[in-house]
Structure 1
Amino acid sequence: MTRHDLSVKSLRSSLASRRDARLKRRSLERQLASYTSDSDRLELDAIISRHSAEETSELRSIINRQAMDRLIRSA
């Protein structure tokens, strides 16, 4: 295999990984968006608080953004 072939293969692999990561994040965003009531959000917060900030940083980021989106829409 030539260096060019390896570069193309590496690029394809990288793009596929990024695409998979985006799809997983969108799925997670949809799942988290289904927690709409105050009690749902409290339950979700209780579950998340059992884990480290490092483990939950992506979840908290999504939840905070969704909360801001809800506030903006309701204003």
Structure 2
Amino acid sequence: MTRHDLSVKSLRSSMAIRRDARSRRRSLERQLASYTSESDRLELDAILSRHGAEETSELRSIINRQAMDRLLRTA
């Protein structure tokens, strides 16, 4: 295999990994968006509080962004 072939293969692999990560994040965003009521969000927060910040950082980031989006829509 030539150096060019390895670069193309590496690029394809990297792109596939990024595509899968975006797909996973969009799915997670849709799932978290279904927690719409205050009690849903409190329950979710209670669940997340049982885990460390490192484990929940992505989830909390999505939840916080969705909360801000809701606030902006209602303002």
Pick the TM interval, shorter chain: over 0.9
Equivalent position of 2:22 in the other structure = 22
SS where residue 62 of structure 2 aligns? Answer: helix
Partner of 1:62: 62
State how far apart, in whole Å, the 1-side matches of 2:34 and 2:13 are: 32
The residue that corresponds to 1:41 in the other structure is 41
Equivalenced residue count is 75
What are structure 2's unaligned runs of at least 5 residues?
none
Identical aligned residues as a percent: 88
> TM-score when scaled to structure 1?
0.99
Task: Output the amino acid matched with 1:53.
Answer: A
Amino acid in structure 2 at the alignment position of 1:69:
D
After the TM superposition, which parts of structure 1 deviate over 4 Å for at least 4 consecutive aligned residues?
none
**When the two structures are superposed, what TM-score results if normalisation uses the length of structure 2?**
0.99
Q: Deviations over 1:6-45 (max 9, x none)?
A: 0000000000000000000000000000000000000000
The reply on whether 1:4 has 2:4 as its aligned counterpart is yes
> Cα RMSD over matched residues?
0.3
C-alpha distance in 1 between matches for 2:12 and 2:56: 29
